[in-house]
């Protein structure tokens, strides 16, 4: 049985699919053509805030709050030790010859991201106060760039926002947060 927050979270995630499709729209093609990436340490962690091609986004990257909408080809990233709203905590690849539909993607996200969320946070997703959304390939990136990656992005919803869509800024990774 899913609690109400989870249903809202999955509905939000469904909305995030539409946004995420826009997020990755041209970015994969830009990334292949030489998009910019952040300066990283030997462990792959961002060492200073910068703007990167969205296709360069990696697990462990933290992003400050953004009000961007529509087709987004880049993202701001900061070291996770600085205030941020979102953190990429897991990624997996979609299988098949054709880009799955929204329902199939949501099923795969639930099968992949929910257990990864629980492991990452240290609390079952359905009991956590945290939530997540995801970034998916678009039809163009799927066919032209062989983009199959789905990235799961965790955030802490602002309890003052009844929609659960406004993230709080956090400092540090949410890994092991236990909330």
Which residue, 178, 176, 158, 179, is CA-closest to 167? 158
Model-level pTM? 0.80
Range of the domain at 76: 4-155
The structural domain count of the chain equals 1
Three-class SS state of 48: coil
For residue 170, tell me if it sits in a domain: no
Within 10 Å of residue 140's Cβ, how many Cβ atoms?
16
For residue 39, tell me if it sits in a domain: yes
Which residue, 35, 55, 34, 57, is CA-closest to 46? 57
* pLDDT at res. 68: 63
* pLDDT at res. 21: 41
Low-confidence ranges of the chain (pLDDT < 70): 1-35, 68-72
Reported in sequence order, the residue ranges of the chain that DSSP labels E, i.e. its strands, are 50-53, 62-63, 74-77, 86-93, 131-135, 149-155
């Amino acid at each position: 049985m899913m609690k109400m927050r989870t249903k809202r979270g999955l509905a939000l995630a469904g909305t995030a699919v539409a946004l995420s499709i826009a997020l990755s729209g041209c970015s994969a093609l830009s990334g292949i053509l030489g998009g910019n990436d952040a300066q990283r340490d030997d462990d792959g962690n961002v060492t200073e805030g910068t703007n990167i091609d969205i296709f360069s986004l990696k697990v462990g990257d933290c992003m400050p709050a953004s009000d961007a909408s529509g087709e987004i080809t880049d993202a701001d990233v900061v070291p996770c030790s600085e205030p941020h709203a979102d953190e990429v905590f897991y990624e997996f690849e979609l299988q098949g010859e054709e880009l799955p539909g929204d329902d199939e993607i949501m099923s795969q996200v639930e099968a992949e991201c929910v257990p990864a969320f629980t492991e990452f946070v240290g609390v079952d997703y359905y009991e956590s106060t945290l939530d997540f959304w995801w970034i998916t390939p678009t039809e163009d990136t799927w066919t032209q760039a062989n983009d199959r990656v789905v990235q799961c992005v965790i955030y802490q919803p602002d309890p003052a926002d009844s929609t659960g869509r406004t993230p709080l800024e956090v400092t540090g990774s949410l890994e092991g947060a236990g909330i």
